[in-house]
Amino acid sequence: MRYALLFYLDPADRGGTIAEGAYPDWVEYTRALKKNGALVGGEHLHEADTATSVRVRGDRLLTDGPFAETKEHLLGFFLIEVPDLDAALDWAAKAPLIGFGTVEVRGAHTGAAWQAVLNE
């Protein structure tokens, strides 16, 4: 089954923790996922204040920055394929930011007609 591991962090915690040497931990974590055959894909996202949210409720409305007012911002994600939720939770617990951030684990739908277009 596929799961998205969504990595969140309070922007106030970003400076010291990420900037001061966490990237080697992320490289090691990514290699472990890949070596295990679980890694499908992933991305590190730009800061939330660079986002533009789009809503259409009759007219198109654009809002700079994150639409939702949240304490933690989405940093990035991995899409993994593992046997079950327990395996996904185990990988989430190993994420380098787990001691100071949040990892949301969410099941991903597969087999939808629109997904076939991805392989064309």
Confidence of residue 18 (pLDDT cuts 50, 70, 90): low
Question: pLDDT, tens digit, for every residue of 49-91?
Answer: 888 878 888 888 777 765 555 678 889 999 999 999 999 999 9
- For residue 107, pLDDT over 90 is answered with yes
CA distance 106 to 120: 26
**Residue-range domains of the chain with CATH:** 2-110 (3.30.70.1060)
Closest CA to 48 of 64, 30, 31: 64
Q: Measuring CA to CA, how many Å separate 116 from each of 41, 53, 119?
A: 17, 27, 6
Question: pLDDT, tens digit, for every residue of 36-55?
Answer: 999 999 999 988 888 887 88
Residue 27: the pLDDT is 92
Give me the residues paired with residue 52 across strands: 64
- For residue 9, pLDDT over 90 is answered with no
DSSP label of 94: T
What's the whole-model pTM score?
Answer: 0.84
Residue 112: the pLDDT is 86
Q: Would you say 33 and 80 are in contact if contact means Cβ atoms under 8 Å apart?
A: yes
CA distance 7 to 93: 11
